[in-house]
Structure 1
Amino acid sequence: MMALSPDQESIVKAPIENSLQVLASAGSGKTRVLTERIRFILENTKKDSVIALTFTNKAAEEMAERLDNVDAIEDRVWVATIHSVAQRILEQYGHTIGLPAELHIYERDKDRMEVFLQSLRDDNVDIDEYLDVSDSRERRNREGVMQKHMDAFAAIKREILNESEVVEKYPNDSRLWKIYQDYQNALLASGGIDYDDILKYAYKILFLHDWVANIYRAKYKHICVDEAQDLNKIQYEFIKALCGESITSILMVGDPNQMIYGFNGSSSEYLCSFFIDDFKPSVYELKENYRSSKAVIHVANKLKPGSQKESDFALQGVVTVKDQANEIDEANWIVNQIKHLLELKTHKEIEGEITLDKMVVIARNRYVFSALKDALNKSEIRFSLKKGERQVEPSSLFCSVLDYAIRVKLNPKDWVDGKKLCSLLKLSSPSEWGNNEILKKWSKDVLISEILFPELQSELLVVIDQLDIDEPNIRKLTKSFIDKLEKFADAPQLENYESELEISILELKEFQKYWTRFKQKGLGDSLQAFRNAMALGQLTEDVINDGLTLSTVHTMKGLEKEIVFLMSMCEGVFPDYRAKTIADINEERNSAFVAITRAKRRLYISYPMQRTMPWGGVKGQVVSRFIKGFPSH
């Protein structure tokens, strides 16, 4: 076992049958404690298995890597996101609550919205006329009304609300429950579910059919939950249903000071209150920050008093707070600091050479990066904007056809993607959906369509139509069409389409990588399992980048850098202008705490005293309440 502090060791070696609550502050080694606890369980039981639940695929991969040297790790530990575990239950036991065998996940917001709008049309609501207004502000308002309904649907699922609870929560929308039911029926009629349905239906299976839960309990006698402060009601109840009365060995690790997903229904109450009441765990606390320097810990404690404790070996570090005249000056100041650090090359408190990949610029939202991007480009400093785990949609015509055709192959009732495919192929949409021969028909119709490379698109549709959905030969498909596209690229008459061909080949190679990654991770064999893994973000790889990272707070959560720049720290940006209630402000404070504690050694905080607004006016700014009283240098 790796060397642990006495506090960490007491958690790792606690009696195996005990429930444990660990309140672990930023930098206190919670991931290490969690993985060592799993290792301890495996080494001290003969056959017991563990489920380790995370919130991101990256966190799951990191934990699995740390446990890589454990014997029979693949048989005894299931490390996955909560949604991935729920999806597996749906795939295997969805039929017990009347769900079809093959369920399509609508992971795109715009696709879910289209299903919602169609459900209104089916209920004789003239929604298209309602949304068709010339005034752009009024149109945005009306689109906002639609989005509020979608947000309400998500809340109903995440909070497990029944009809009377919906009426109570939304007293000014008497038809909401009916509209919600119509939306759910429209989803199922198209052979699909949305992201929130994954947990909703998986919980329903476990709740109604204890025998299904017993199958999992018989194999997995221990459950570990990472980042438990971010649990919402459906996630907590799902875990509780998985445990039942028989599983008492459950470890929940989290930090209430880092709860930043309230907009998803998350609440630290599930870790700090409900878990205590339901499982009566032994309670532990880890406050010693092994990650950050003394200077960083000092300002973190100003923001969240008493949250952090210096380790005996903490370095001094630096925190600098600087105001600037405007956002352009702020961007230039950040760039100059970066150049200065690179010119230093080394520093006694930073291990190895100072390089761009040891730095990150964090902001409350991505919109404030505009001036900084311009300044970085002018100085020829490499950078990338860190994104979440959502799959990037293909941009080439060929790979868009590939994507939509696979969706329709798996689910012929999927009119949402079917209509998009018809639009790409310049074909008329059928009046009814559900025909298993539809791809074959379109492969003939497209030959007389005014589309780029009609013969190639036709051949692609034929190949997809003939795919074995249980064990598709994706490698053969991609290799064959890469060869064909490369031959097209050599044809002199197609020189005007070089960019389209180049992107098609690159995206097809990327698709091939996804399949290879899917197989290597042992996520299944079927085409449906492959699609679901893509929808759940399980196949996206972190871009290996040796440049500077730009990141929002939420995408930086759980990560760290030697040097952190925290920019645009003014009221209305951080805290966000929409944060009105005490709970909202507390969550914004948590976000600021997360941003600050990403820094291992040096933290640079800046804000502009005025900003140019999108409509052209200049507005004075007020320094964020979160950094008032921080030392300025």
Structure 2
Amino acid sequence: MVAEGVLEGLDPDQRAVAEAVRGPVCVLAGAGTGKTRAITHRIAYATLTGVVAPQRVLAVTFTTRAAGELRGRLRQLGAPGVQARTFHAAALRQLTYFWPRVVGGEPPRIIDSKIGLVADAARACRLSYGRSELRDVASEIEWAKVTQHRPEDYPAAVVRAARRPPAEVVDVARVYAMYEQLRRERNLLDFEEMLQLTAAVLTDHPEVARQVRDQYRYFVVDEFQDVNPLQKLLLDTWVGPGRDDLCVVGDPNQTIYSFTGATPSYLLGFTAEHPGAKTVKLTRDYRSTPQVVRLANGVIGQARGEAARRHRLELVAQRADGPEPVFNEYDDEMAEADDVARRARKLIEEGVPAREIAVLYRINAQSEAYETALAAAGVPYVLRGAERFFERPEVREAVIRLRGAARAGADAETDGTGLILTVRHVLSGAGFSDRPPEGAGAARARWESLAALAQLAEDMAADDPRAGLPEFVAELEERAAAQHAPPLEGVTLASLHAAKGLEWDAVFLAGLAEGTLPIIYAETPEQVEEERRLLYVGVTRARAHLSLSWALSRSPGGARRRKPSRFLDGLTGKTTTHTPARVDRGKRRGAKGPQPCRVCGRPLTAAVERKLGRCEDCPAELNEGLLLALKDWRTEVSAEQRVPAYVVFTDATLQAIAERGPESLEDLAQIPGVGKTKLDRYGEAVLALLNA
């Protein structure tokens, strides 16, 4: 590619980044402003104009997925030799290479998780922790290490940082000290020690430092607002004294990981540390509609503190108008989850793909209500942050089968159709079929994983009709190395922290009540402001459809004492004490509070019980012949409409119909799972079956 061609299609600010080929450079990039595009074009332009050789560039980011995306874009731009890695991957590569020369002997083993070693350390200290407590203590040790506090310094550091440790401070310090002792005795390295040791090797061995600095002369660091003190130490060691070819990119408005030791101070203080540094701001938002951008600016515009005001990025929307954000208030969390599921299903029926919808919440414990509600509504979902895609047994089996088929030369055809058919044929041996299994559960999850691989083959064939099975397997292996999972066909459920860096057509921000956002233990002004930035991150994940909601009580019939988040003050169109239109559970189900069992009268809380209208173990008259007839009818309809069977009606809804035997459309409409759309579409056919 010709160098000038790399600059084509960039907006003025992006082009300013790309043309600033000599450092130091600081890019303040707002959400959706094309920062990855800007920095990859900058690297490509610098290599194509001869400013730097590709192999002399090190681009550093925070996730293997982001690093993989950088490498992919750079290849397309004609800079395939650039190294794009995470801090940990780059450090491990260097440490492994230099270990025989500077240390010798058996290199230590890298541990992926601290929890096992923390458990051993706790037992040695005669302390008993559960699984969640072990995880929290491991996170606390990680914070202490990245902020470079030793066990004896830890108690004082906790006080200075106003942290809330997961256990007694003295106990955490004891476990931390024992953890370090056991780690050394067993010749183990955790990720933090790996960074520390790499920096120490370069500092203590000048010949190693010279070799590394000769290899890498040109640095780009993405998400610089998330750098912690240990990563900054290693970066400074890499760059070395007297060199300034460093470009950093970040957004102070998206600083949401300070609890892990990350700090925006390095981004905000970059020009002070590097006098004469060029600063470029990216504010043109290409992701979201003006309506979403207006709300995002409103949320972050209320941020308090001098630094927040001085470094605020006011986004300017570049897309056409879309729907206004919707604010909903509910009596309780169950009603909120039910209505979010109903509205997600409506979006899917209107043509929004399920994978382009997300429900985001503050803490992972909130996911259960939405898992239940979506399952009851017949909406597929994917829980982000659960088991990694490429580590799932069915995916590992499928990749092995595809690899074997590629070695055997399974795809003789070289057009896109041949690739698609070959992949589907191989996946069929792992249990894949054109039609998904009914219901949810393990079988459905397995099918969804294999379907994602089949869809990836279709996408690859569309991009490159000449691609064959070997190219597809190579793509899978590269994605596995980068943990770059293909999109699964389901509504995404994720915490706000896990959603950073992602985007969807439609986003539901749920549980926006005081005590949850900001979280109750956000006590200092700095902690509260980080919670505000967390909401800003959530808002800016949405391209077009955005819904924000909260519940006044936790449980049906509970005291309605909650208040909407203070971060919404003045942004809902009216004061947040006003109640927008919401689902009225009393009108919908005929009574205030929880729905009673129609057999024994006990309040129903489980989604499947509410759909059936009774406790699962209460007796009910079931017309089994009618249920079979309804399932046969559903199979025909789903085949005709080319949709999964559960999209027509779920098993639980069909069972409720067979049990209750509604005699009119009005009776049918009272059964949960039969909304207006399905009543209009299928009501007469269902009644005809009942009458027959």
Q: Shared topology, TM-score over 0.5?
A: yes
2:233 maps to 1:290: no
Q: Which residue of the partner structure matches residue 43 of structure 2?
A: 38
5 Å-filtered alignment, 1:602-617, equals 602-612=545-555
Deviation, structure 1 residue 295 = 0.9
- How far does the alpha carbon of each residue in 1:595-615 deviate from its partner, in whole angstroms, 9 at most, with x for none? 0001111111111111139xx
Q: Which residue of the partner structure matches residue 60 of structure 1?
A: 67
Q: Residues of 2 paired with 1:555 and 1:100: CA distance?
A: 39
Q: Helix, strand or coil for the counterpart of 2:533?
A: helix
Deviation, structure 1 residue 220 = 2.0
Q: Residues of 1 paired with 2:226 and 2:28: CA distance?
A: 13
5 Å-filtered alignment, 1:107-506, equals 107-117=112-122, 120=124, 125=125, 127=126, 130-131=127-128, 144=133, 150-161=138-149, 165-166=153-154, 168-169=156-157, 180-273=176-269, 276-278=272-274, 280-305=276-301, 307-345=313-351, 354-387=352-385
Is the 1:154–1:196 Cα contact (8 Å) retained in structure 2? Answer: yes
Q: Which residue of the partner structure matches residue 109 of structure 2?
A: 104
Is the 1:612–1:619 Cα contact (8 Å) retained in structure 2? Answer: no
Q: 2:499 aligns with which of 543, 548, 556?
A: 556
Using CA pairs below 8 Å that are at least 6 residues apart, which structure has the higher relative contact order? Answer: 1
- How far does the alpha carbon of each residue in 1:536-584 deviate from its partner, in whole angstroms, 9 at most, with x for none? x845341531221111112211111111111111112122222111111
Instruction: State the one-letter code of the partner of 1:105.
Output: I
Extract unaligned runs of 5+ from structure 1.
132-138, 346-353, 400-473, 480-485, 487-498, 511-515, 524-532
Q: Helix, strand or coil for the counterpart of 1:304?
A: helix
Q: Residues of 1 paired with 2:559 and 2:101: CA distance?
A: 60
Q: Residues of 2 paired with 1:56 and 1:564: CA distance?
A: 23
Deviation, structure 1 residue 206 = 2.1
Q: 1:319 to 1:19 in 2, by over 3 A?
A: same
Deviation, structure 1 residue 101 = 3.6
Q: Residues of 2 paired with 1:389 and 1:236: CA distance?
A: 30
Deviation, structure 1 residue 287 = 1.6
Q: Which residue of the partner structure matches residue 402 of structure 1?
A: none
Q: Helix, strand or coil for the counterpart of 1:612?
A: coil
Instruction: State the one-letter code of the partner of 1:335.
Output: A
Q: Residues of 1 paired with 2:506 and 2:560: CA distance?
A: 30
Q: Residues of 1 paired with 2:90 and 2:39: CA distance?
A: 19
Is the 1:222–1:247 Cα contact (8 Å) retained in structure 2? Answer: no
Deviation, structure 1 residue 148 = 6.9
2:76 maps to 1:69: yes
Instruction: State the one-letter code of the partner of 2:12.
Output: P
Instruction: State the one-letter code of the partner of 1:156.
Output: A
Deviation, structure 1 residue 379 = 1.8
Is the 1:50–1:220 Cα contact (8 Å) retained in structure 2? Answer: yes
Q: 1:105 to 1:279 in 2, by over 3 A?
A: farther
Deviation, structure 1 residue 387 = 1.8
Is the 1:321–1:631 Cα contact (8 Å) retained in structure 2? Answer: yes
Q: Helix, strand or coil for the counterpart of 2:107?
A: coil
Q: Residues of 1 paired with 2:158 and 2:363: CA distance?
A: 29
- How far does the alpha carbon of each residue in 1:370-416 deviate from its partner, in whole angstroms, 9 at most, with x for none? 222122111211111112786887889xx9xxxxxxxxxxxxxxxxx
Is the 2:152–2:173 Cα contact (8 Å) retained in structure 1? Answer: no
Q: 1:344 to 1:162 in 2, by over 3 A?
A: closer
- How far does the alpha carbon of each residue in 1:222-256 deviate from its partner, in whole angstroms, 9 at most, with x for none? 11111111111011111111000253211100001
Instruction: State the one-letter code of the partner of 2:22.
Output: E
Is the 1:248–1:279 Cα contact (8 Å) retained in structure 2? Answer: no
5 Å-filtered alignment, 1:486-565, equals 538=481, 540-565=483-508
Q: Helix, strand or coil for the counterpart of 1:67?
A: helix
Instruction: State the one-letter code of the partner of 2:518.
Output: P
Deviation, structure 1 residue 214 = 2.2
Q: 1:181 to 1:286 in 2, by over 3 A?
A: same
Instruction: State the one-letter code of the partner of 1:24.
Output: A
Extract unaligned runs of 5+ from structure 2.
1-5, 160-167, 302-311, 398-402, 409-428, 430-441, 454-469, 574-579, 581-692
Q: Residues of 2 paired with 1:82 and 1:388: CA distance?
A: 24
Is the 1:19–1:282 Cα contact (8 Å) retained in structure 2? Answer: yes
Q: Residues of 1 paired with 2:328 and 2:169: CA distance?
A: 48
Q: What is the number of equivalent residue pairs in this alignment?
A: 487
Q: 1:381 to 1:263 in 2, by over 3 A?
A: same
Instruction: State the one-letter code of the partner of 1:50.
Output: V
Is the 2:283–2:313 Cα contact (8 Å) retained in structure 1? Answer: yes
Q: 1:312 to 1:40 in 2, by over 3 A?
A: same
Q: Residues of 2 paired with 1:147 and 1:601: CA distance?
A: 37
Q: Residues of 1 paired with 2:115 and 2:152: CA distance?
A: 29
Is the 1:357–1:549 Cα contact (8 Å) retained in structure 2? Answer: yes
Q: Residues of 2 paired with 1:50 and 1:392: CA distance?
A: 29
Q: Residues of 2 paired with 1:157 and 1:11: CA distance?
A: 34
Deviation, structure 1 residue 521 = 8.5
Is the 1:568–1:608 Cα contact (8 Å) retained in structure 2? Answer: yes
Q: 1:198 to 1:314 in 2, by over 3 A?
A: farther
Deviation, structure 1 residue 285 = 1.2
Is the 1:24–1:253 Cα contact (8 Å) retained in structure 2? Answer: yes
TM-score for both structures, normalised by structure 2 = 0.63
Q: Which residue of the partner structure matches residue 14 of structure 2?
A: 8
Q: 1:61 to 1:618 in 2, by over 3 A?
A: farther
- The percentage of aligned residue pairs carrying the same residue is 25
Mean Cα displacement is larger for which, 576-585 or 39-48? 39-48
Is the 2:65–2:482 Cα contact (8 Å) retained in structure 1? Answer: no
Bigger-Rg structure (1/2): 2
Q: Residues of 1 paired with 2:152 and 2:122: CA distance?
A: 24
Q: Residues of 1 paired with 2:105 and 2:493: CA distance?
A: 42
Q: Helix, strand or coil for the counterpart of 1:154?
A: helix
2:29 maps to 1:24: yes
Q: Which residue of the partner structure matches residue 540 of structure 2?
A: 597
Q: Which residue of the partner structure matches residue 98 of structure 2?
A: 93
Instruction: State the one-letter code of the partner of 1:587.
Output: E
Deviation, structure 1 residue 54 = 0.9
Q: Residues of 2 paired with 1:65 and 1:291: CA distance?
A: 21
TM-score for both structures, normalised by structure 1 = 0.69
Instruction: State the one-letter code of the partner of 1:546.
Output: E
- How far does the alpha carbon of each residue in 1:290-315 deviate from its partner, in whole angstroms, 9 at most, with x for none? 21111111111111126333245442
Q: Residues of 1 paired with 2:564 and 2:122: CA distance?
A: 42
Is the 1:388–1:555 Cα contact (8 Å) retained in structure 2? Answer: no
Q: 1:631 aligns with which of 552, 567, 572?
A: 572
Q: Residues of 1 paired with 2:358 and 2:68: CA distance?
A: 22
Q: Residues of 2 paired with 1:280 and 1:157: CA distance?
A: 33
Q: Residues of 1 paired with 2:284 and 2:91: CA distance?
A: 34
Q: 1:336 to 1:389 in 2, by over 3 A?
A: closer
Instruction: State the one-letter code of the partner of 2:75.
Output: D
Q: Residues of 1 paired with 2:40 and 2:387: CA distance?
A: 23
Deviation, structure 1 residue 38 = 0.8
Q: 1:325 to 1:589 in 2, by over 3 A?
A: same
